[in-house]
Structure 1
């Protein structure tokens, strides 16, 4: 399988899972972060640092991916962009996105932007739990067509 895993690594809560799976199955993996989210941690995955511009990570990933690759992101806009390029996309909570989700993803992004402009604070996502990590790993392995190992 000729795929690369790209992770929008700014504040990604499942980097260790992604990194471990990529290493175990020898899949090329790239963590893309802005300089504002620098980490000195060592990974199997290649780490790419980009400018702190709000869209720099999205632009880098969008320009690098090819059909068949996998992108992990919490950014609905990035998910829609890569889906249109024949790339698989999923969230750190284990949701695998499809092109049929595109309109809902864009609507959610638009509503979030409108709330920020009006300075309205939403509830935000629930606290990330161990069960979220487990759901992510199961969905991630399924997406990569690898058997789930405890």
Structure 2
């Protein structure tokens, strides 16, 4: 049961490596390139072809029950949740069958609002130390479930 990391623009790769090493879990770090591979034998770097959503497609085709997926991409998260995978956002929020519909709807609403106002500045809030801490806690709990199961 691997951990899949949607690695393009992922701010928690080092945290994933630390937790996976502690629990001896296999991690697939998936990107279009441009990231430095880890020397850690538990981490496998997967480079997918250039193009929009290629890493997402690769992960979505493989993730399933018992797997953990780390992503900030909501459509990818929805596919992985539907396939039975456990999904964590970078801030530690778990995306589940119970909340993914609402998260998708909110994402779509915000995209519509941004497109309706081309002068809208800014976006979401920045990634904080508290987000990193919540992520580490959530991933540690997920790793324990994997190790026990």
What TM-score, normalized to structure 1?
Answer: 0.84
Q: Which has the higher contact order (CA 8 A, sep 6+)?
A: 2
CA separation of 1:82 and 1:15: change in aligned 2, threshold 3 A: same
1: CA distance, partners of 2:115 / 2:50: 20
For residues 9-59 of structure 1, what are the alpha-carbon distances to aligned partners after superposition, in whole Å with 9 as ceiling and x for unaligned?
A: 111111000011111211010111113xx1225252111111232211110
Deviation of residue 120 (structure 1)?
A: 5.7
1: CA distance, partners of 2:55 / 2:139: 21
1: CA distance, partners of 2:50 / 2:110: 20
Could you say which residue in structure 2 is the equivalent of 1:107? 105
Could you say which residue in structure 1 is the equivalent of 2:27? 29
Could you say which residue in structure 2 is the equivalent of 1:144? 143
Structure 1: unaligned runs, 5 residues or longer: none
CA contact (8 A) 1:68 1:87 kept: yes
Could you say which residue in structure 2 is the equivalent of 1:79? 77
Q: Tell me if 1:40 matches 2:36.
A: yes
Q: Which runs of 4+ in 1 moved over 3 A?
A: 115-123
For residues 97-124 of structure 1, what are the alpha-carbon distances to aligned partners after superposition, in whole Å with 9 as ceiling and x for unaligned?
A: 1101121122133234434544464642
CA separation of 1:140 and 1:104: change in aligned 2, threshold 3 A: same
2: CA distance, partners of 1:95 / 1:62: 19
1: CA distance, partners of 2:61 / 2:119: 33
What TM-score, normalized to structure 2?
Answer: 0.85
1: CA distance, partners of 2:30 / 2:39: 12
